[in-house]
Structure 1
């Protein structure tokens, strides 16, 4: 399970580099922070249950933040 967090770190790094190449600096920094988070978690020796709980917590925070941003912060055409 720890290896999966390193894989997530790799993919977030790839997305961050593509965002940086596209001049989306804020998005790139967000994904670089996620990369560091996932890689650090990948090298810690947690139990599988801990990794699953951490992933669920990450998903809840991410989807809540994304939903808040899209509903309350973006100018949506009506």
Structure 2
């Protein structure tokens, strides 16, 4: 289970880099925070149940954060 969190950290890191390249710095920082969270959890030796609880909490917080960003911060079509 810890390897899956490392894998999630890798992919959120890839998304963070892609958002930085796309000049979407605020959402890229959100993904950097997710990457750090996943990588830290990946190196902790927790039980499978605790990993699932942590992932559920992450999903709730990330969904709220990303929805807030998409609704109140991001301006569609304002990039170029």
What TM-score, normalized to structure 2? 0.80
CA distance in 2, matches of 1:22, 1:69: 16
Matched, 1:47 2:47: yes
> Cα deviations across residues 5-56 of structure 1 (Å, max 9, x unaligned)?
0000001000000000011111111111110110010000000000001001
On the 8 A contact 2:27/2:69 being kept in 1, the answer is: no
What's the RMSD between the two structures over aligned residues? 1.9
Q: Match for residue 8 of structure 1? A: 8
Aligned residues: 75
Structure 2 runs not aligned, ≥5 long: 76-80
CA distance in 2, matches of 1:31, 1:38: 10
